[in-house]
Amino acid sequence: DAGITQSPRHKVTETGTPVTLRCHQTENHRYMYWYRQDPGHGLRLIHYSYGVKDTDKGEVSDGYSVSRSKTEDFLLTLESATSSQTSVYFCAISESLASKETQYFGPGTRLLVL
């Protein structure tokens, strides 16, 4: 299995609270992604990164920000959590532009916003 960890694995928070999720990889892959998965919607891309300090928006980026200061870490921040952000969040990595469709996923973070 690819070396991808996510922390925390479970989190309960209150509406309006800032939340940061961390994705850490040991594969030295260039691309990193944050997805959310909800019933009836499947996996949807939030943000992705194509290098240190290089990030871009995905399909559902509103309400989320990301940062990547090191190759191995990709942080997802909910500045002010809302109940609609209750979801399972997955981080993924891919090695290069040429292999961007071959993505390796982390175990996920279950977030509940009350």
Segment contacting other proteins by CB under 8 A, of 14-22, 52-60, 65-73, 75-83: 52-60
C-alpha–C-alpha distance, residues 90 and 21, integer Å: 10
Number of H helices, E strands in the chain: 0, 11
Work out how close the CB of 35 gets to other proteins at its nearest, in angstroms, rounded to a whole number. Answer: 9
Among 56, 79, 96, 114, binds other proteins (CB under 8 A): 56
Of 42 and 62, which CB lies nearer to other proteins in the complex structure?
A: 42
Please give the helix or strand (H or E) that residue 44 lies within, else none.
strand 42-51
* Tokens 């499947």 sit on residue: 42
HSE (side-chain half, CA atoms, 13 Å) at 105: 13
Of 50 and 77, which CB lies nearer to other proteins in the complex structure?
A: 50
Asked if 45 interacts with other proteins (CB under 8 A), we say yes
Asked if 44 interacts with other proteins (CB under 8 A), we say yes
C-alpha–C-alpha distance, residues 20 and 11, integer Å: 10
Site residues (CB under 8 A) for other proteins, limited to 70-109: 90, 92, 100-108
For 69: left if phi > 0, alpha if psi spans -120 to 50, otherwise beta; the answer is alpha
- List of residues contacting other proteins (CB under 8 A): 31, 33, 42-45, 48, 56-59, 90, 92, 100-108
